[in-house]
Amino acid sequence: MTAPILALRGVNKSFGPIDVLHDITLEVKPGEVLCLLGDNGAGKSTLIKIMSGVHQPSSGMIEMDGQPVSFPTPRVAAEAGISTVHQFGGTFPLMSIGRSFFVGVEPTWGWGPFRVYDRKRANAIAVKAVQDMGITRISDGDRLVGGLSGGERQSLAIARAVHFGARVLILDEPTAALGVKQATHVLRIVNEAKRRGLAVIFITHQVMHAMAVGDHFAVLIRGAVAADFKKGEKTREEITDLMAGGASMASLEAEIEGFMASHDGHPPPPAE
Ligand SMILES: Nc1ncnc2c1ncn2[C@@H]1O[C@H](COP(=O)(O)OP(=O)(O)OP(=O)(O)O)[C@@H](O)[C@H]1O
């Protein structure tokens, strides 16, 4: 059996008197997508900040490749191969694709004080990396990042993380602000990262997106893992209900859809 790349063992996190995470045990293996689901305030952001060195656990352990590790800073986590991509791709709208791909580690040509940014090489590498991940519509490295669609921007950020050797890819709501087609591109690239053997932690509110790529699911409720299951073990309705803390969201959804079907697509009036 493959060993997990990253594991949390009994992690707790408090901010002063406020206990935010309780006894979190989770692991993710190479080539696996772990979906972290949970309602607003469930503790997802705090958990990914612990995995990426922004916060330290109050107690409990983080392991990489079976060895205890600590990530005192985000840089240490990044050097260990943990890469976080945030909702809007974390890229720079006024930079070109090539420049933003290499920001901080720009390839240069020339010598000593005469070194200059090697625009052509940066563009070629960036475009190839994105195309290799299956996003073939990006072909001009001089294009500004700000002109890309949300899905393309996410894809660029993911391709960048993969190119620079990420082993664990944490995707924080990558599809939240995207339309169906754009979300499909991002989900495709998540699958490609998985195929390359990365461990992916995919944070989302959207059960359908989670089900499209997830191998393993954890539902957080009020800072604790309320359910931990594998692909195929629960239906979409069961997962939706779990995320809502047991309230019957799935039947409410079905009721609304039924009303709209019988009223020419009009939603029911809001409850008084
Ligand atoms: N620095 C902090 N100090 C005190 N409380 C905090 C701090 N950070 C987070 N919390 C609390 O921890 C709880 C979990 O927050 P967190 O942001 O991790 O949730 P989330 O699941 O990411 O929510 P969302 O989906 O809305 O982003 C919230 O009640 C929040 O107020």
- CA neighbours within 13 Å on the CB side: how many for 18? 7
What is the pLDDT at residue 117?
A: 65
Whether ligand 1 lies within 6 angstroms of the CB of 16 is answered as no
127-141 pLDDT per residue, tens: 888 888 777 788 888
- What is the pTM (predicted TM-score) of this model? 0.83
Q: Is the four-CA dihedral 47, 51, 53, 59 of positive or negative sign?
A: positive
Q: Say whether 204 sits in a helix, a strand or coil.
A: strand
Mean predicted confidence (pLDDT) in 74-92: 83
Cα 37 to middle of ligand 1, angstroms: 14
**C-beta of 67 in contact with ligand 1 (< 6 A):** no
Ligand 1 pocket residue status of 15, Cβ below 6 Å = yes
Domains in the chain, ordered, with CATH? 6-234 (3.40.50.300)
Cβ density class 79-97: b for 16+ within 10 Å, e for less: ebbbbbbbbbbbbeeeebb
pLDDT digits (tens, 9 = 90+) for 147-179: 888 888 888 888 888 888 899 999 998 888 777
CB 36 near ligand 1, within 6 Å: no
CA of 113 to the centre of ligand 1 (A): 47
The number of the ligand 1 atom at minimal distance from the alpha carbon of 220 is 21
The helix/strand/coil state of 42 is coil
% the chain with pLDDT above 70: 88
Q: Is the pLDDT of residue 112 over 80?
A: no
Spatial separation of the C-alpha atoms in residues 123 and 98, rounded to whole Å: 4
